[in-house]
Amino acid sequence: MDHVLATLKRFTMAGLLLLSFSMVIGGRASAQQATAQVTGKVTDSSGAIIVGADVTLRNSQTGVSRNTTSNKDGEYLFTLVPIGNYEIAVKRQSFQTYEQKGITLDINQNAKIDVALHAGASSEVVEVNANATQVDTQSATLGKVETTERILSLPLVERDTMQLGLLQAGVVAPEAEDGSGNAFSVAGQRSESMTFLIDGSDNNDFLGNNMVVNPNPDAVAEFKILTNNYEAEYGRTSGGIVNQVIKSGTNSIHGSLFEFFRNTALDGSDYFLTTQKGARRREGQLAPPFQTLSPAERTGDFSDVFSGVTDPATGNDTGQLYSPVDGSPFLNNQVPVDPVIANYIAKYVPLPNQPGNQFVSSPSAALRDDQFIFRYDYNISSKDTLSAFYIFDDQPQVFPFEVLHGASTGGDVPVGSGFSNAQRFQTGSISWTRTLSPTMVNEFRFATNRSASFQANPADKTTPQALGFTTVQADDPLGAAPPLMFVNGAFTLGPSPQGPTKLHDTTFQYQDTLSWTRGKHQLKFGGDVRWVENNFNFDFFNNGSFFFGDFGAYTGLPGTNSPGSNLADFVGGYWDNYFQFSTARYGIRTHSLYF
């Protein structure tokens, strides 16, 4: 009985071990890191297996080389190989040395290079310079690499490399309103299900469903979008995987200088549009007009709009405005102007620039993008390699009008009608790769990224009290601005009702991957731990909001044909609703653990 129990216990433990390794044992596939791998078989001219052949893989740009030997099956394997141009050399006593140059390894590529050695002295060299297209027979993952040549040669609007992703099969742009920024919809999945990586490190903004940093094209070596059948190590997503690789250095000092300049006066004509003078790119959004106050109405004179005509059938004055205080008619429809509202009108309400007291304008929004990228690669020894990168991206934005309620005030913008958004994105990583043996390679990585933004009202820091709204106090002094004015059927003026807004999204990632070749099998296992913190602070209606005409105009006469005027209510200061939130602070910390 004891023997049976011991046997069952051994089978149970073996089953648990098989289950734990089932997610990490697979074919010869490159790791989540932004690397490639090279595998092949060494034989003689008759096809017989050659055991113990010395195989050297050398980066032709940096001079860094790695060595291994063919196993009992004649196979060799190099894992976690940085992308770039390589050459391979195979030596064995009593055989000629084989050398192949011009091997290009792309991100997540599984290159298979079989070598046939011919009998002869090892001092004799058989050199192959042609780089045959490598067919990936080791992985079922679907995806396409966008190389440096395509990134630099194809036109990119605003120099956004992610636009090339839309050229791949199964990749489409997301719906405009889903707020996913540079994300895609891959294989029919939601755009929020994307995962973004830089050199294998996390690059996900979990609050914005977007990437944290989008490196400029001059810094990107290549990127690949995995669309289907990717390995379990990627985890946490059902959509596509975007893995970008930053250009690394070489064994010599080098650099580049460029200028990106677009001007309609100097640009040449498109090749297919020779009759067009200069290539022009015009983009914009025309804001709809809204009704504002005429010069007379700003002083309370509504006699041009309401003439005081009496309906002979009812005896009611359909064109008469009445006092909300005692119901008496205003003489000649002259509404007494509230002194506080008069101050607001003078500073913030634009004059009409279209017929019918309409105002329309579409001012330009300013965006400055300052990006700094640092990359460091250090070959410590023949067994140890250190790599690191850091990207800093500063994007201050200024929106000249309040976008949430459509108050576009354009060139004669009332101060305080727009907002600014200071955004700063940072990401960095350091990785250590160690060759433990010819059949075992380990890579450890620490990475972090941070998205921070501060949305505030414009430079005009006028407080409600300074304008005469003595009972209104800004909930947060950083967002001090004029109160919002909602005039039903006419306009909404003032800063964004959502602000100031502070957003911080920070991620820490610890990752370790061990690749071990055992005979014809490659075992790969490790851990990926990510600590994600999301913090955001919102203020709503920070400076108070006044509503006019939500329940009918107070300058009308109830039960008659005299409806009154919401604009007249505004001028006279007869508001029917006031709204202000206290500070609403929401803190979210999401902790994610992946193995």
- The residue among 224, 246, 268 that closes a domain is 246
512 within a domain of the structure (yes/no): yes
491 within a domain of the structure (yes/no): yes
CA distance 544 to 474: 7
395 within a domain of the structure (yes/no): yes
- The residue among 226, 246, 266 that closes a domain is 246
Residues 81 and 151 in one domain: no
What's the pLDDT at 410?
A: 37
What's the pLDDT at 569?
A: 93
Residues 97 and 238 in one domain: no
Helix (H) or strand (E) holding 371: strand 370-379
CA distance 359 to 351: 7
Residues 100 and 146 in one domain: no
CB half-sphere exposure, 112, CA atoms < 13 A:
10
What's the pLDDT at 14?
A: 39
Residues 35 and 166 in one domain: no
Residues 498 and 426 in one domain: yes
Residues 93 and 153 in one domain: no
Residues 486 and 377 in one domain: yes
478 within a domain of the structure (yes/no): yes
- The CATH number of residue 162's host domain is 2.170.130.10
- The CATH number of residue 86's host domain is 2.60.40.1120
CB-based contact 559:316 (threshold 8 Å): no
What's the pLDDT at 415?
A: 40
Instruction: Supply the DSSP symbol for 594.
Output: E
Q: DSSP per residue over 234-289, as a string?
A: S-S-SS-EEEEEEPP--SS-----------TTTPPPPTT-TTSSS-------PPPP
Closest CA to 453 of 502, 491, 523, 385: 502
Closest CA to 533 of 205, 250, 71, 214: 205
Residues 512 and 377 in one domain: yes
285 within a domain of the structure (yes/no): no
Q: How many Cβ atoms from other residues are within 10 Å of residue 150's Cβ?
A: 13
Residue appearing with tokens 């100031």? 500
Encode burial over 248-273: b for 16+ CB neighbours within 10 A, e otherwise.
beeeeeeeeeeeeeeeeeeeeeeeee
184 within a domain of the structure (yes/no): yes
Domain span at residue 72 reads: 24-128
What's the pLDDT at 592?
A: 56
- Residues with Cβ < 8 Å from 78, sequence gap 6 or more? 37, 38, 39, 55, 57, 66, 68
Angle at 196 between CA 37 and CA 527, to 5 degrees: 60
Residues 118 and 234 in one domain: no
346 within a domain of the structure (yes/no): no
CA distance 163 to 283: 17
- The residue among 204, 230, 246 that closes a domain is 246
208 within a domain of the structure (yes/no): yes
Residues 443 and 587 in one domain: yes
Residues 122 and 231 in one domain: no
The domain tally of the chain equals 3
Q: DSSP per residue over 153-217, as a string?
A: HS--GGG-GGGGGGGSTTEEPPPGGG--TT--EETT--GGG-EEEETTEE-EETTTTEES----G
Report the chain (595 residues): mean pLDDT per 10 consecutive residues: 41 38 38 75 90 91 86 87 90 89 86 88 68 60 79 80 83 63 71 84 82 88 80 73 84 68 63 54 57 89 74 62 88 92 88 83 74 89 90 84 39 50 91 88 93 73 83 79 86 75 87 84 83 78 86 80 87 89 56 54
SS3 for 445?
Answer: strand
Residues 242 and 172 in one domain: yes
